[in-house]
Amino acid sequence: MFSQEVKAQGQGYVRRHLEYYDDKPIHYGILFAMPFTSYNIRHSDAFVPGDSAYLIQSPMKTAFRMGFILNAYLSERFDIRTTPSVSLYERQIKYSYPNSPDKIDKRESTWLEIPLLIKYKSKRRVNTRMYMIAGVTLGLETNVKKSTAGTGSAGGRLDTQTSDFTFDCGVGYERFFEFFKFAPELRFSTGLKNVLNPSKNSSAVGIGKLTTHTVTLYLNFE
């Protein structure tokens, strides 16, 4: 009976990696991410009477992001976290007309994004743990390339601002390995700022407000 019990215990043992991980006050890491981004469009009062387009929409586009992780321990359940990163975006506005081809305003740009996040952690189960995260992000556009495909002239460009402020929330799953922690995460970001610059050109007639909307899959390594 004793030998059978020892054998059963041996089969059920799972090694606990990075056992004293949470004893350190600060952790560093890197991240790679794939954002799916678009604009949320609120039409202006002039959309119906003054705009020749019958539909204005922003298709979802894939982007790329990479950055660093700085995580500070607050308590057994909470951390404070920032992940400064560089993102390569392409956002579009598509105009559909009843008797002419569609027109696309494209904005390709590089953004520096600096979030401030609070992280809530579940109890660790051997080498796994779930978490939720929420906070705000300041975004600054560092380089922009405007394309006026289908606009016909520079005056037809839709002009947007070079800064953004978003509310972020998400969920993640942490897996501890022998030398590092891997955490895939799904995060939702909603723009709190109207990024549309007031303009009298034809592209802005039917648009009253533009805010950003992004869903991002993160791969975090700490």
Q: Which of 158, 162, 159, 160 is nearest to 95 (CA)?
A: 158
Report the CATH number at residue 91. Answer: 2.40.160
Runs of H (alpha helix) within the chain: 2-12, 47-50
Q: What pLDDT score was predicted for residue 52?
A: 74
* DSSP code, position 31: E
Query: Is pLDDT at 33 greater than 50 in this prediction?
Result: yes
* 128-147 vs 64-73, strand pairing mode: unpaired
Find the mean pLDDT for residues 104-113.
92
pTM confidence score:
0.84
**Nearest 5°: phi and psi at 39?**
-100, 140
Determine, yes or no, domain membership for 94: yes
Query: Is pLDDT at 183 greater than 70 in this prediction?
Result: yes
* DSSP code, position 160: B
Q: What pLDDT score was predicted for residue 143?
A: 79
Range scoring the smallest mean pLDDT among 15-29, 76-90, 95-109 = 95-109
Determine, yes or no, domain membership for 151: yes
Q: Is 170 in a helix, a strand, or coil?
A: strand
Q: What pLDDT score was predicted for residue 43?
A: 86
What does the angle CA 107 – CA 108 – CA 110 come to, to the nearest 5 degrees? 125
| The residue count for the chain | 222
pLDDT in tens, 41-88: 998 887 777 667 888 899 999 999 999 999 999 999 999 999 999 999
Query: Is pLDDT at 137 greater than 60 in this prediction?
Result: yes
Determine the Cα–Cα distance for residues 82 and 157; give it in Å rounded to an integer. Answer: 35
Determine, yes or no, domain membership for 20: no
- Write out the residue range of the structural domain in which residue 152 sits: 29-166+183-221
Determine, yes or no, domain membership for 63: yes
Query: Is pLDDT at 22 greater than 60 in this prediction?
Result: yes
Determine, yes or no, domain membership for 100: yes
Query: Is pLDDT at 5 greater than 60 in this prediction?
Result: no
Tokens of 153: 């002239």
Determine, yes or no, domain membership for 86: yes
Q: What pLDDT score was predicted for residue 197?
A: 85
- Of the pLDDT bands very low, low, confident and very high (cuts 50, 70, 90), residue 204 is confident
Determine, yes or no, domain membership for 131: yes
Count of structural domains, the chain: 1
Q: Which of 145, 77, 50 is nearest to 107 (CA)?
A: 145
Is pLDDT larger for residue 83 or for residue 152?
83
| Distinct helix (H) and strand (E) counts, the chain | 2, 11
Q: What pLDDT score was predicted for residue 84?
A: 97
Q: What pLDDT score was predicted for residue 45?
A: 80
Determine, yes or no, domain membership for 83: yes
Count Cβ atoms within 10 A of the Cβ of residue 173 and give its class: 0-12 exposed, 13-18 middle, 19 or more buried. Answer: middle
Is pLDDT larger for residue 166 or for residue 152?
166
- Of the pLDDT bands very low, low, confident and very high (cuts 50, 70, 90), residue 149 is very low
DSSP string, 57-107: E---EE-EEEEEEEEEE-SSSEEEEE--EEEEEEEEEEEE-SSS--EEEEE
Q: Are 90 and 61 in contact (CB under 8 A)?
A: yes
Q: What pLDDT score was predicted for residue 211?
A: 95
Q: What pLDDT score was predicted for residue 127?
A: 95
Most confident range (mean pLDDT) of 21-25, 152-156, 170-174 is 170-174
Find the mean pLDDT for residues 157-173.
92
Query: Is pLDDT at 150 greater than 50 in this prediction?
Result: no
